[in-house]
Structure 1
Amino acid sequence: MNENVPVANTGPIRLSTDKPIGIAILAMGGQGGGVLADWIVGLAEAEGWMAQTTSVPGVAQRTGATIYYLELLPARDGLKPIFALMPTPGDVDIVLAAELMEAGRSVLRGLVTPDRTTLIASTHRSFAVGEKEKPGDGIGNPAVVVDATDFAAKRTIAFDMETLALKNGSVISASMFGALAASGALPFSKQAFEAMIRAGGKGIEPSLRAFNAAFERATGKPNDVVSATPHKHFDTMPDTAGHPDLDRIVHRIRAEFPEEAQPLLYAGAKKLTDFQDPRYGDEYLTRVAALHALDRQNGGAGKGFAFTVQAAKYVAVAMAYDDVIRVADLKVRASRFDRVRKEVGAKADQIVYMTEYMHPRMEEVCGTLPKRLGLWIENRPSLFARLDRIVNKGRRVKTGTLLWFLSLYAVSALRGTRRGTLRHSRETDHREAWLSAASGLLASNYDLAVEVLNNRRLVKGYSDTHARGLSKFDRVMSALPTLAQREDGAAWMKRLRQAALLDENGIALDGALKTVGTL
C-alpha cells in the first residue's frame, strides 16, 4: 500500500556544483606519506576549509605504494559535504609521488590528466622487487616515465626531493610539502604551510629547512633532467695517498697504463686494497699490466685499448669475490652501523638492532678453510653430508648483540688467511682460465676477446647466487669454439650474455644457445 504525503512547493531541488580539490599522495613506508596527508588536512582546516583523507595501503614492501586520497572544499554555512573515499581516474587535481616509478604508476592508473592535474614527483629511485630480482639490469627506464608524465600532466614539478630532504636532516614528506606550496595549486600562503609544520611539534627545524629548500628549488628550477643510463663517477687520483704502499700503486697506474684505463684501475686498486691489503692491489696491477702488454702488441692502441679497459674493470671484480670473510667484514663495520642509524632516523639515545638473515652451506665453510683441509672434507661425502646437516640452516643473526658481533668479527679477522683458502684457490684458477681464453683471441678476433672479458659480469654474489652465475658463465663460454672463427662472433657472444641476464632460470639463454648451435 502506497501512501501519498503532500510536499510543500519549495521549487526544484538542485545539488551543489561546488567541486572539491582532489589530492592523491603515493608514498612508500618510511617516507612520511601519512604525515604529509595530515599536514595538508590540518592546513585546509586552519584556513576554514573542510577536508577528508583516506588511505589504501600497498600490497607489500616495494610492490606498490600506499595511496592517500584527500578532498578539500571551502566550508559553506555549516553544511557538511560528502567526500569521495578514493580517487577517480580523470578527477584528481594534484598528484604527489614520493618516487619516480610511482609517478609513472599514477599515470597508468589514470590519476594524472592533461586538463587538470598538477604532478609533483621526486626523481630518485627506490628499486622494486621486480627490478632487483633480474640477474642483469632490470631497472625501469626513467626517461620513459618523464616523457609520459610531461605528456599526461597539465603541469609537472619533478626533482630529487629525497636527496634534498636528507641534506637538511629531514624526510621526503617535508620537501614534497615545500614543492606543493611552491606550485600554487592550493590557495594558501607559504606562511600558512610553515605554520602547519610548526604545529607538528616534532622535527620542526629540519622539516622547515627541507620545506624551504624544496620551495626555492621548485620556484627556480622545477624539473631535473633524467637519463636512462646512470652517470658514472670516478674518484680523481690524488698526487699522494699518504702511505708508501698506496703511493706506489698510484704511481704505477700513472706510469704503466693508458689514460683511458686509469680511472677504472684506480677504482679497482682501491676496492682490492679494501678487500684484502695493498699487496693484493699491487697483484691486480701486475696482472692487468701483462694483459695490457698483449693488448698493445695486438693493435689495441687503434681500438682505444678496449681490452685493457675492460680488463681493468673485470679483473678487479673477479679478484674481489664475495666470500664468507667479506660478508662478515662488511656487516661489522662501524660505517654500516652509522649508515643504518641514519637511514632509520635513530636518535643518539636510541638503540638500533639489525637482524641478518643468513643461510650458510657446507660449501661456504669448506671454502673458508685451508685448501688441503677443505678438499679433505669435500672428498669424504658422508662426512660432508653430516656436517652440512648441522651447518645448512637458516639463521637470524642480530649483529647488535655481543655474541653475534664477536662471531662475525672473528670470521672477518680471517682475511689474513684468505690467500690460503680453498675458495681463493678456486677463484684464482677460474680467473686465470678465463683470462687465458680472452688473451688467446686477441690476435685473431680482438672484439670477441673483449666480449669474453665482459662475460665476467655473469659471476656475482656468493652461495646459491654465485653457483647460478657461474653456471651461466660456463654455458655462455661453451659457445666460444663455435664463435671464435666467425667475424660476427663478438656480436653473438654479447647476445648470449644479454640472454643470460634476462631471467634467473636461464630460459632465454637456452633458446639463444640453440640458435648459436645452428650457425
Structure 2
Amino acid sequence: MSTWTTGKRPITIAILAMGGEGGGVLADWIVAVGEEAGYYAQSTSVAGVAQRTGATVYYVELYPGEEPGPGSVRHEPVMSLFPTPGEVDIVIASELMEAGRAIQRGFATPDRTTLIASTNRVYSMDEKLALGDGRIDSNALLEAAHRAARKLIAADFMQLALEAGSVISASLFGALAGSGQLPFAREAFEDAIRASGKGVDASLRAFAAGFNAAQQPAPRPTPAPVATPGVGGGPVPVTISRRRPVDPAEEAAEAVERRRQELAVSDPASLVGPRLQPHASRITAEFPVPARSMLLHGAVRTAVYQGPAYTDRYLDRVARVAVHEREGSDARLTTEAARHVALWMCYQDTIQVAQQKIRRRRLDGVRAEAKAAPGQLMNVREYLHPQVEEIADTLPTRLGRWVAGSAWFGKLVGRLTRNGIVVNTTGAIGYTLLWAMAMFRPLRPRSLRFGREQEAIEAWLEKVTAVAPADYDLACEILECQRVLKGYGETHHHGQESFGLLMAAVDGLVGRPDAGATLASLRAAALADEDGSALRSDLARVAGPVLVEAG
C-alpha cells in the first residue's frame, strides 16, 4: 500500500515575528502562493510571551498536490501543526534576537535550514530592564546565525520596508522569493500581494527591495568602531557591515555628523546658540581637547534642564576634577566627569518628565512612527502612576518634608492614583496639565529633592578630587559609579543603596594597587540585579562582612 510519505516530505517554513509586523499576513501570502501552484498548504500560529510580549511563531507546510497512488487509504496528506526542531527547511526571523531564538529552539540547523533574518534590533524586556547595558551583542547573534544555517540571508529588512512605505512582512516575503528555496516564480509571489488588495504598491516596492537584498552575501560581524559617546551613554557596541549601497541622504547625514564632531573639538562656539556662547568659549579655553565634545553635550543638556546659570555650575564642577588630569593622557578623568556630572545634575523628576512629554520633537516623532497622514488626528495617552515621594520631592523643601511625612496625604494620593492616571498629551486638558508642571522649572532649585541631590553630588566629587592625585584610575571608576543611579521609585531607591555601598567601599580600597579594577567589578555587580544581592556578595568577598553591614 503506497502512502503520502513514500520518498516525499513537505516544505516546512517557520516565521518568527512580533505583533504588528505582519507575520500572519506573510504566512497567508505563502499559503496563497502554494495553493495557486496546486500545493496542499497548512498554516498555524503559536503565540508566545516568554521572550517579549507579542512574539509569535507562524508555521507553514507546503506539500505537492499530487494524487495519491493506488491503494492509498488517504486522499490528502497529514501535516504537522507545529515546527519540529531539526525538521525546518526555512526560518524567517523579523529581528536578530528572533533569529537567535529560532537557533536556540533548534529550528535552524546547518544541514538543512535556510535562515532569512533581519539585522535590525527590537530590544527584549530583559535587555530593557537591565540596570546596566543589558543589550545582547548583535555580532554574537550574527555569528550564531552563520554557524546555524545551511544558507543565511540577512539584511535590515525593516529599514528596506520603511523606505518603501510598507511593513517588514513584505520585504521578508521578497527575500523568501529571492532565496530560490521555493519552486515558484517571482511573479507568483507578486500576484499573491496583488490579490490581497491592501497597500499593494508599497508592498511591491518592499518586496522588490527584499528580493534584491537576498541576492547579496550575508553580512559578517564587524568590530565596533570607537565612537564619540553621548552624554546619555557610551558608544554603541555593535556594528553590522552594510550589504547595500549607501543612501546619498544617509551618507550626507554621516558627513554632517563627522563635521559636527570636528567642530565640537576645534570650535564649540559654532554649534550652540547665543546664550551658550560664553560656555562654549570656556570649554575651548579651559578643558583638554578629548573632553570637549562631551562637555558641549553636557552644557546643552544642563542649559535645557535648568538654564545657563546651571551650566556655569556644571562647568565649575567638571573644572574641579579636570585640574587632576594627567599630562599627555586621553583625558579620561575629565571626559567621565563631563558625562556623569551632567547626568546626575539632570536627574529625572516630575518637572523633567512633563517637559519631555510635551516637546514638539517628541510628538513629531510619535506621529512619524505611527505613520499619521498630514491633517490626521492623533491621540497620545500617557499612563502615569505618581507616588507621594515624587510629589514631595517637587515641592519646596519645608512643604515637601511635611508632605513626605503626612500619613493623611499619603492615603489620599494612594486612593486617587491606585489605578494610575491616564493623560491625553494631545488634548487641551492633558497638554495644559503637563505644560503647567513643566513651568515649575524656575522653582526647582527650591525643591526638596534639588537640595538633596546637590549635596550628594558635592560629596561624590569631593571623594573624586581627594583620590585623584594618588590614584587616577580609581578616581575615574568613582565617577562611573554614577551609572547605578537611574530610574525612579523602587529602582532609584535600590540604586541609591548600591551607590552608598560603593562609596563606602572606596575608603577601604584606597592605597591598593588593584583599587580601580576592584571598584569596577563591584560596580558591575551592582548593575547585575536590582536588589543588590550580587553587590553584597562581592563586597563580602572583597572587603569583608563588616563593610557590607556598615553600608
TM over 0.5: yes
Kindly tell me: are residues 224 and 165 of structure 1, through their superposed partners in 2, closer, same or farther at Cα, counting changes over 3 Å? farther
1:468-497 Cα shifts (integer Å, max 9, x gaps): 211110111111111012111111111111
Contact 1:479 1:516 in 2 (8 A): no
Return the letter of the residue paired with 2:237: P
Contact 1:135 1:502 in 2 (8 A): yes
Of all paired residues, the percent bearing the same amino acid is 45
Which residue of 510, 518, 524 corresponds with 1:492?
518
Return the letter of the residue paired with 1:397: V
Give the CA deviation at 1:60. Answer: 6.1
Query: Counterpart of 2:40 in 1: which secondary structure?
Result: strand
Q: Is 1:397 the equivalent of 2:422?
A: yes
Mean Cα displacement is larger for which, 312-321 or 12-21?
12-21
Return the letter of the residue paired with 2:513: E
Kindly tell me: are residues 219 and 280 of structure 1, through their superposed partners in 2, closer, same or farther at Cα, counting changes over 3 Å? farther
Kindly tell me: are residues 267 and 167 of structure 1, through their superposed partners in 2, closer, same or farther at Cα, counting changes over 3 Å? farther
Q: Is 1:431 the equivalent of 2:457?
A: yes
Equivalents in 1 of 2:535, 2:138: separation in Å?
A: 27
The total of aligned residue pairs comes to 500
Query: Counterpart of 1:466 in 2: which secondary structure?
Result: helix
Q: Is 1:70 the equivalent of 2:60?
A: yes
Give the CA deviation at 1:447. Answer: 1.0
Contact 2:398 2:448 in 1 (8 A): yes
Return the letter of the residue paired with 2:52: R
Which residue of 306, 320, 329 corresponds with 1:290?
320
Q: TM-score, normalised by structure 2?
A: 0.84
Match of 1:17 in 2: 7
Match of 2:548 in 1: none
Q: Is 1:387 the equivalent of 2:377?
A: no
Give the CA deviation at 1:18. Answer: 2.5
Equivalents in 2 of 1:226, 1:158: separation in Å?
A: 14
Match of 1:301 in 2: 327
Give the CA deviation at 1:410. Answer: 0.9
Mean Cα displacement is larger for which, 213-222 or 440-449?
213-222
Equivalents in 2 of 1:72, 1:151: separation in Å?
A: 26
Contact 1:366 1:377 in 2 (8 A): yes
1:266-289 Cα shifts (integer Å, max 9, x gaps): 222232233233443343223222
Q: What is the root-mean-square deviation in Å for CA atoms of aligned residues?
A: 2.5
Match of 1:6 in 2: none
Contact 1:325 1:368 in 2 (8 A): yes
Which 5+ residue runs of structure 2 have no aligned equivalent?
Answer: 69-74, 225-235, 240-256, 546-551
Query: Counterpart of 1:336 in 2: which secondary structure?
Result: helix
Equivalents in 2 of 1:257, 1:410: separation in Å?
A: 38
Mean Cα displacement is larger for which, 130-139 or 332-341?
332-341
Kindly tell me: are residues 267 and 210 of structure 1, through their superposed partners in 2, closer, same or farther at Cα, counting changes over 3 Å? farther
Give the CA deviation at 1:63. Answer: 5.4
Match of 1:366 in 2: 392
Counting only pairs closer than 5 Å after superposition, residues 268-417 of structure 1 correspond to structure 2 as: 268-295=298-325, 300-348=326-374, 351-378=377-404, 381=405, 384-392=406-414, 393-394=417-418, 395-399=420-424, 400-417=426-443
1:209-268 Cα shifts (integer Å, max 9, x gaps): 222222222323432536685259885346624631233333333333222112212222
Kindly tell me: are residues 388 and 427 of structure 1, through their superposed partners in 2, closer, same or farther at Cα, counting changes over 3 Å? same
Return the letter of the residue paired with 2:26: L
Match of 2:195 in 1: 199
Return the letter of the residue paired with 1:215: F
1:103-139 Cα shifts (integer Å, max 9, x gaps): 1121121111112110011122222222222212222
Q: TM-score, normalised by structure 1?
A: 0.89
Kindly tell me: are residues 283 and 197 of structure 1, through their superposed partners in 2, closer, same or farther at Cα, counting changes over 3 Å? farther
1:432-479 Cα shifts (integer Å, max 9, x gaps): 110110111011111111110010001012233222211110111111
Contact 1:34 1:68 in 2 (8 A): yes
Match of 1:9 in 2: none
Mean Cα displacement is larger for which, 116-125 or 336-345?
336-345
Counting only pairs closer than 5 Å after superposition, residues 216-295 of structure 1 correspond to structure 2 as: 216-223=212-219, 225=221, 230=237, 236=261, 237=263, 240-241=270-271, 243-295=273-325
